[in-house]
Amino acid sequence: MLRWATAMVPRLGGEAERTWQLPVTDIRAGRRKGLLPSVAMRWERARPWVQAVGAGVSLALALPGPALVPLVLVVPGLLRRALAGLRPRRAFLVGWVGGVVQWAIAVAWVLIVLGRHGGLAWPLAVVALAIMSGILGWMWALAATLVACVPERWHGWLLPWLLVCLEMLQHLPPWIFPWNPVAAVATPLPWLMLPLPVVAAPGLSLLLLLAGSGLDLLLDRGYRRWGALQLALVGLVFAAASALAPPFRAAGEPLVAAAVQPNVPLEVRWEPENERMIEERVWRLSAEAAARKATLVVWPESAVPRYLQQDGVYRQTVEGFTRRRGVWLVIGSIGFGQGEDEYFNSVFVAAPGGLVPYRYDKIHLVPFGEYLPLVGKVPFLRPLVREVSSFTPGTHALPLPAAGTTVGLQVCYEVTYPSLVADEVRRGAELLVTITNDGWYGDSAAPRQHLALAILRAAESRRFMVRAANTGISAIIGPDGRVLERLGVGLEGVIQQRVQPGRGVTPAVAGFVWIRAGILLVAAGAILCGAWKRRRGTP
């Protein structure tokens, strides 16, 4: 019988890590010496990396696109096991590898943006994706490092809190990319979004990760009681938040809203000879919506390659259409400021009586898409912004009147910012309207991921949302996050639905700052307390 010798190597705070040693005796004469210990030692070295990669792959596949939702439950367990017994420095590297893998898979559509539309050679596009994933992977790396500073028995419940904290900081440098929150995995399942109006997207992300961590602890012999307790608490909070979620409150009369999807590929849109064809298609679809009794017709971002503010003929055409048809149009177009170089990505509203005298200017611009700080030094980035060299950001959220209600507007990437939607709802927005051009992404996971963010905003604020996308996915979303109508990628047409303006402010909107501050404070307090206990050598 094979005997194993193990040594207990002291770690931080008196904890120990088990390392495999060579066998004291051979298995039998004639057999290779040390084979089984060698395999075990190799696995022990590789185990953290394999488990971290598994966690990254699982989260990427759970997100919209693949949408293998149950995989989100294995993420915290795999990551906890990967970090078991590691010092902070090694934990950083293991967490970083897992994060890099997750982002490289989840945003692989960046290759389409840079390679097909940015004119970048495919090998360089792959390098750019690797750099981007490397930067975004720091979030998991930081979470892993902090977890390694506290007693190991804390890892199961603390790791989800840290992952959500760093998820909330994604809009800050060096990331500036608040994309793919964990809560997005819930969007295909409306019942999973029931607590959203109370806990907001970060709270739902936390509940999902804590549930997965609780299941993992339940399967670990030494932590079964903690796992059962954690699952019970998650279930209790989920049920309570779902029960306390305020019902939808109607404001005013319902209206018929339509979203136009002309499906004009980017390659076609930029050619001057196609301008007439594009305009005729948009007007034809708008007339179809008006004929079907729509009172609010939403165009996608920059649907027509003309400038509404400066082109008098175009403006007269718009005003003539709204007057004859008795409809309101929401139009994305370039807006111009007072300065010579002031250009805005703007939204205008045209009423049956003429153009509304004010507009909404996009506040949150896409880095390296709508403003290019390195455009002079990196020439291959120029094709990504063809109309102007750099947009100017807007300064404040401004809901606009339309079709007897007040609409809160988000342009493309802005729907990733819950603070903007919350601000618009607090300012009186009764209906949400999002316009975008997702033609950059092709038929990849990106349009699905982008739609998921719109679903989260609608469910958090208890508002109907009309989403118009040039090449798809256009959608009309209910206040509970259900997609009532949708038009897929690469299709041309109109979708419309009877929508009801809403009123009131949900706890997720009213407590926007407090929910996030609470999560940050709990995590920070736990880290300080855990680090102090570990330094003293107490469990």
Q: How far apart are CA 199 and CA 147, in angstroms?
A: 24
In the set 301, 370, 414, 485, the catalytic residue is: 301
Matching residue, tokens 């008006």: 290
In the set 152, 362, 424, 485, the catalytic residue is: 362
How long a stretch of residues is the chain?
A: 539
Q: How far apart are CA 75 and CA 60, in angstroms?
A: 10
Q: How far apart are CA 430 and CA 434, in angstroms?
A: 13
Q: How far apart are CA 223 and CA 231, in angstroms?
A: 12
Q: What 3-state class would DSSP assign to 67?
A: coil
Q: How far apart are CA 486 and CA 471, in angstroms?
A: 12
Q: What 3-state class would DSSP assign to 190?
A: helix
Both structure tokens of 348: 């205008």
In DSSP notation, 472-501 reads S-EEEE-TTS-EEEEE-TT--EEEEEEE--
Q: What 3-state class would DSSP assign to 332?
A: strand
The secondary element (H helix, E strand) that includes residue 19 is strand 16-20
Q: Could you tell me which residues are beta bridge partners of residue 409?
A: 433
Q: What is the dihedral of CA 299, 301, 302, 303, to 10 degrees?
A: -40
Q: Give pairs for 475-478: CB < 8 Å, separation 24+.
A: 475/259, 475/451, 476/257, 476/259
Catalytic-residue membership of 362: yes
Matching residue, tokens 């089984």: 36
Both structure tokens of 252: 């005013």
Burial profile 177-198: b = 16 or more Cβ within 10 angstroms, e = fewer: bbbbbbbbbbbeeeebbbbbbb
Q: Are 49 and 97 in contact (CB under 8 A)?
A: yes
CA separation (Å) from 102 to 210, 499, 525? 19, 37, 28
Matching residue, tokens 């506290």: 150
Q: Which of 243, 206, 249 is nearest to 500 (CA)?
A: 249
Both structure tokens of 342: 């002031």
Q: How far apart are CA 452 and CA 184, in angstroms?
A: 6
Q: What 3-state class would DSSP assign to 6?
A: strand
Q: How far apart are CA 314 and CA 321, in angstroms?
A: 11
Catalytic-residue membership of 412: yes
Q: How far apart are CA 60 and CA 66, in angstroms?
A: 8
Q: Active-site residues: which are they?
A: 301, 362, 412
